[in-house]
Structure 1
Amino acid sequence: MRTPTALLAVTATVIASFGAAAAAQAADDHRSDVPPPGDSRVLADGLMTPLSLGVNRDGDVFVSQDFAGKLTKIDSDGHKTDIAQAGPDRSLGAVSTRGDTVYFVETANDHTYSKLMSVSSDGGDTEEVADLYEHEADENPDQDNTYGFVDLPDSCANQIDQTKFPFIPATYDGVVDTNPFATLPLENEIYVADAGANAILRVNHDGTVETVAVLPPRDPIETTAELVASVGYPECAIGYDYRFEPVPTDVELGPDGWLYVTSLPGGPESDILGARGSVFKVNPDDGDIELVADGFVGATNLTVSQRTGTIWVTELFGGDNDKGQVSVIPAGSDDPEEYLDLRSPAAIELRHGSLYVTTDAFVLDASGAPQPIGTVTEVPLGGDGHSDDSGDH
């Protein structure tokens, strides 16, 4: 796919607010075996598109300001310090931590450059860990996937305007495209969810990159007049099935040793075609893929309890009026439930018995540009047995 943020930009502005009252109501609504959320507190605000974050063992938060190309450290007092800056015409994202090291990915806006980088949690010189674009250019992991219309007649396909930008053919195979959206550092390797490659990658200790799994194309959706008009396809395409890209946006380790992955549906991120976001699990040893749950709107991130297997998912455009929400999948369930009513939540981590969530992460102004109003919010969890980490595994 071209980029998740490009797809997000065509979705309507999300507006809402949240507070302790909403959290209390959510606590009444979800199952008793899921810990209730406590009163939230904002750790930092004024962030530009905070689409990923990591929390280290000391409680320091490291958050990306993707469109500004910054990696920002937030200490326990809420003080913000920029510790890394992407180069010109590059974004910075896919933040994670392990020990005293922070990992992130720097990506060119045209997706012809993408490198996994590291920096000390105290700042300093950045170091290259792996060249992710080189792997995509050499291997193109999803080249055997076919996307687009199913059995659309040539007479209709030939009417598609090739001068439109971005031009999307009627039917196409996976192209060379890299947009790493999340990283997961473990003891001997780092896993990467690449939303451009539609694949989960593994970076080994020597910097070599290999493909763990390629997510399959989504089940075909019958196109509507609204969808055809929004993309600029000819009217003759209405009613034909269309197969979207799977678009992985996060990767986390579950207590069963599998990798858990959120997936955008590769098309409209609103619910005009239904709530089509998903959570998958991937066996890191053989690449086997299983569906855990679906029914999300804009599933951009997840975190998994290492003790209970409970999964929390940020839905950038979920909830009432597409304002955004955090959903929870109780352990052993495939049925997501509303957990927190938040505005435009993007990233989430479980650490020290609290959820850390970025909110107001993609709220557009009147001109359609994202605003620098993002926050990092801490939500403590009630009950016992949830002080586990999803950071240093």
Structure 2
Amino acid sequence: MPRRPLVLAAASAALAGLALAGTGLAPSSAAPAPAPAKPVVLAQGLVTPLSLAVSGDGTRYVAQNFAGSLLRQQGKGKPEVVFQAKKRGQEVGAVSVRRGDVRFAVSGRNRAVLMGIGDSGKAVQLADLRAHELAKNPDGRVTYGFRFASKQCLAKVPEGIPGRYTGEAFSHPYATAQVAGGRTYVADAGGNAILTVPRPGVVRTVAVIPPTAVKITQAFAEANQMPQCVVGKSYWFESVPTDVEVGPDGALYVTSLPGGPEDGSLGANGAVYRVDPATRSVKKVVSGLVSPTGLAVSANRTIFVAELFRGQVSRALPGQKTAKPFARTALPADVEIAGGVLYATDQALDEENGGRLVRIKR
């Protein structure tokens, strides 16, 4: 089966073409973009700021993913480059910070590695995530696509749309989170799994995030030239975990994009999962999201989610299973909480004006 890259890897395409996660499916309709809010702007003119981290002292780190650079901003100062990928086309993202230790990922052609910056200020490689994916392929036994369609029906599915397949060995680290002892958790959007790096050179799988089953509608089938035999059947989309955060209960909270239409034309299929790193149990805790690409969890377990193509940051209070709009803003990509302050990156795919780092009033 052909590789299915994240939709976000095609930022240079028009937004209409960014509606899917590489399955080849087109949306049946486009939802109107909500009016942007007026948050406090801390930096602007950024290039694809898809990943954000904020330290306890308020220092902000922003990854300009497709520019291959990592920025640091202190106070009201101008963001400065603290890392630049050496090779053109390499992506820098998945940034997190804990007590001065910065973690991020560099990925590209035949490469997906976890990097770290400590007191020395020099970036060093900590783990080879792609090597782990090639060796273990955590979702290799998971079946995606039309699980229960006949071979005759699958033969009618248009070329470019995977009819039925199992998880391939493909790594795209998209987010990291750190805990005491130097352990780093990684949301691998390509591998559909949460990984852990307990120490340099060691990578283990914590959990595979389950696929999302979505029924194909008549309208969607017609828009994508799909055969009548798939109408009413479920297509199992890849989970595509886009963020991971450590909650106050010690559990991991993970956003699932998932693969497929990200504009909501097949429903609001994005979700937040709770992963117990000890038992490796996975439970859906928030559903009904559209293109969730960033996540923050407060001290009382309030969940904030950046819904990229829905144009809003949403909030789910403790115990709530659905999130409600919290702040309207164009193309929010990531969201973080530090010192009781909510930060976000928005206008993340705006090629004309550039992206922004903003503070949102809670």
TM value normalised by structure 2: 0.88
SS in 2 for 1:357: strand
Separation in 2, partners of 1:257, 1:120: 24
Give 1:180's aligned residue: 173
Give the number of equivalent residue pairs: 341
Give 1:311's aligned residue: 303
Q: Residue 190 in 1 paired to residue 184 in 2? A: yes
Give 2:25's aligned residue: none
1:353 touches 1:380 (CA, 8 Å); kept in 2? no
Give 1:207's aligned residue: 201
Give 1:349's aligned residue: 336
2:241 touches 2:258 (CA, 8 Å); kept in 1? no
Q: What displacement does 1:120 show?
A: 4.3
Separation in 2, partners of 1:133, 1:98: 24
Q: What displacement does 1:152 show?
A: 2.0
Separation in 2, partners of 1:161, 1:344: 31
1:150 touches 1:240 (CA, 8 Å); kept in 2? no
Cα pair distance change 1:242/1:17, threshold 3 Å: same
SS in 1 for 2:180: coil
Q: Residue 254 in 1 paired to residue 247 in 2? A: yes
Give 1:26's aligned residue: none
Q: How is 1:296-307 mapped onto 2 (pairs within 5 angstroms)?
A: 296-306=289-299
Q: Residue 17 in 1 paired to residue 36 in 2? A: yes
Give 1:89's aligned residue: 89
For 1:97, the aligned partner's letter is V
Give 1:375's aligned residue: 356
Give 1:25's aligned residue: none
**What's the Cα RMSD here?**
2.1
Give 1:114's aligned residue: 112
1:49 touches 1:65 (CA, 8 Å); kept in 2? yes
Q: Residue 239 in 1 paired to residue 238 in 2? A: no
Separation in 2, partners of 1:115, 1:251: 17
Per-residue deviation, residues 257-281 of structure 1 (Å, max 9, x unmatched): 1111111121100111111110110
Separation in 1, partners of 2:47, 2:35: 18
2:114 touches 2:128 (CA, 8 Å); kept in 1? yes
Q: What displacement does 1:148 show?
A: 0.2
Separation in 2, partners of 1:225, 1:47: 40
- Displaced runs of 4 or more, over 3 A: 6-9, 12-16, 159-162, 225-239
Give 1:33's aligned residue: none
For 2:302, the aligned partner's letter is T
Cα pair distance change 1:206/1:120, threshold 3 Å: closer
- Structure 2, unaligned stretches of length 5 or more? 20-29
Give 2:215's aligned residue: 222
Give 2:138's aligned residue: 141
For 1:331, the aligned partner's letter is P
1:4 touches 1:195 (CA, 8 Å); kept in 2? no
For 2:115, the aligned partner's letter is M
SS in 1 for 2:326: strand
1:48 touches 1:371 (CA, 8 Å); kept in 2? no
